[in-house]
Chain A
Amino acid sequence: MTDASATVTTQNVSGGRSLLYHVILCGVSLLMLYPLLWMLASSFKPDDEIFGNASLWPETFTIDAYIRGWTGLTVSFGTFFWNSLVISVLSVIGNVFSCSLAAYAFARLKFPLKNFWFALMLGTLMLPYHVTLIPQYVLFLNLDWVNTFLPLVVPKFLAADAFFIFLLYQFFRGIPRELDEAAIIDGAGPWRIFWSVMLPLSVPALATAAIFTFIWTWDDFFGPLIYLNDASQYTVQLGLRTFVDSTGKSDWSALFAMSVVALIPVLLFFVVFQRLLIEGIATTGLKG
């Protein structure tokens, strides 16, 4: 925040300043990058070197862990990737779709009980999930959904994560209301305003929601742990946890190797979608 005072008055930064920025950013990047380097190093170490030896450079260099990790379990890691991908992509679609609808209703429309529902919606953010886990399990068991992807995916299509409703709600409210009014004068109803005014103007927010949904679903461990029984249905996070058993013989280097591999899809997703982040009002050149 202190940089604000040191910057020049144009949006684009000149040469000398730019160098300064790069120095700062590179420094921060290094702090961010260290864990990845460390994970990479550990994945190339034999197991008996990981804990006793903190050096970033392996004494003995081996790629065994990648081969062992990918093929070693009874179910190949490829299956876990596929499962995670299916669940994550469906979650992104469901979440962005259902949450933006609800957010629009709360942000722009008037209807009875609106404040009541809004408060309840926020309330669902506040209860620790540990205590609803068992009743929810019983519910899904009765629906006969346990041991399928349904408990992990269907709630996303029903906007069960209030975080995203709230997020989009805030962004929708940031869009100038004159734009809706112009559309209303043109005779547009709420659905058309939603599709042709709100959504196009909210690309950064929608991209944010998509990125978070993908990453959080991909990283989610507890949901799959409770609802998926068969190894053939396991997600990447569950697969990773099967390498290490703290009471017995574990394969730590395989854990690190597969953790590195598991980062690739999320990183790719992030890189692709972050381009949408920087679009929006600033680049579409909207004039109020």
Chain B
Amino acid sequence: MRWPAWVPFAGLAVLAAAAVAAPYVLPGYAVTLLTLMFIAALLAGSVNLLAGLAGLVSIGHAGIAAAGAYGVAWAATRDLGLGAELGVAAALTLAVSVIYALTTMRTSGIVFLMITLALGMTMFGLAVKLSSVTGGQNGLTGVGRPEAVEEWWQYYFFAAAVSVLCALAMAVVSRSPFGLALRGIRESPSRMTSLGYSVPAAKFAAVVVSGCFAGCAGVLLAWNAEFMSPSVASFPRSALAVVMVIVGGVGTALGPFVGAAVVVSGEYWLSSYVERWQTVLGVLFILVVLFTPGGIVGGLGDLTRRLARRRRPAPGPAAPVVRRDDPSTSAAAVAARSHPAGKEES
């Protein structure tokens, strides 16, 4: 039982139209939040690329984003021009990504997680201590946006466009032969090795590619705040990116956007009214993991399928309840990788 093929496209078209119309109908502050959401979605997307394809959960990606952001901010405060800003950001991002990749390419699961955590903390430490370059705890002020996207609505379109284009690029990566190889490695590294693939090389490439997207998110962050401080590299930033991915749906293209929308609205909108917004977010996270291990996007997919099935009962004996998504792309599977007892469903 499926929806007609045009339904998902129509849905996406409505979303796109809403995104384009937003600055014309919404107040300025709401658009600021949407901008933040698109940037957060890009960072979450880079985490999702690793988690969804290769099953590698990084809780240090804010460190890579910070490299990009500091690159831009450092060049901007020295008035080196747009080209130099992007150049320094790209070089720093690449260098840091390569370090991440080299140190993690032979690991998986909990070891990968711990190394990325340590690297994230290292980046945070560097940002705080190298005060002649980073301004230390005080941060760097006077990071101007490029002239063409200076106004808040221009910047919104710019951030949204970059975020969506990067999401498309990540979708292409995940459907490419390289993406398939990563899935294979996630399922069985030994089999991929015997087929002639180099597992560490593939992981190396995956971390670098994912790091480049994280760096883009960092550049957007620096321009958005027009200010840079070590908190961009801090652990909560990395952890929230993982929360976004799991709440939205691991391994789904839309998941990071949905997760980012939930987390950003919690952090900035809900917190104006509810002092303990983190409790609300935490409870939501628990509920999602318990009830829809595929995240909100996965859960909605299940729901529409179930509704469609109810409309026209399937012929023959009731089919056994089979989880639609292959279990390894779900949040439960990510948890299961580090904690085998999590697989109660199977």
- Decide if A and B are genuine partners: no
